[in-house]
Chains A and B, each alone.
Chain A
């Protein structure tokens, strides 16, 4: 059973601080890794994707991938109350299907 694991949270972070979200996956053949943000009652919204080991930065967001450790993370700098949402990690395996984690609920406290 291919799995993607995330801490369900909630993760509470003060406004302006760095929020760090983590995800581990079981399929070593996984090729692509995605972070989606989902507000309550809404559909997921793609915010980052990463294919290669290392860091990828986009504005306040940085995705980090370590294939040897089967670990992917998302850092959010200068956290804002509007960042409060559930963050879903999704991993595309060797069969091209996406396997999703259950999400981490992030709360940014003003």
Chain B
């Protein structure tokens, strides 16, 4: 069991709405990464935050935005939800800054967009 916690665990939204997902990183981890995992696919990198600054971004549109707080917890915001945004959203923290090695994942948020 890792110390990475995500909330909520499940969420149902309708197209066009906005959503905020939250993540608390494992103690001592200052880097948080967000991933989107569609059914039957591997996780897709959305972005990473290191010491409150965005440190890398994947191929996602600007309506996907994030934030990291001084305690290293993080939020993922998605505006103007589309049906294809339905997926498992994973937060992962890592013990060293600016790298993705040895990621420890939270249990994820299952988002359904209707």
B-binding residues in A (CB < 8 A): 4, 8, 32, 34, 42-46, 49, 88, 90, 92, 95-103
Contact = CB atoms under 8 A, between A and B. Distances in A.
Contacts of A42: 107-108
A2 B104 CA distance: 23
Interface of B (DSSP majority class): loop
Contacts of A32: 101
Nearest to B43: A100
A46 B103 contact: yes
B58 interface: yes
**Which of A45, A88, A98, A99: most chain B CB closer than 10 A?**
A98
Contacts, number: 55
B107 A43 contact: yes
Contacts of A88: 42-43
A104 to B, nearest CB: 10
Interface of A (DSSP majority class): strand
Interface of B: 33, 40-45, 48, 56, 58, 88, 90, 98-108
B86 to A, nearest CB: 15
Contact of B42 (A46, A92, A100): A100
A92 B99 contact: yes
A8 B42 CA distance: 11
A102 B41 contact: yes
Given A96-B100, A97-B58, A98-B100, A103 B42 contact: yes
Contact of A96 (B42, B58, B99): B99
B40 A102 contact: yes
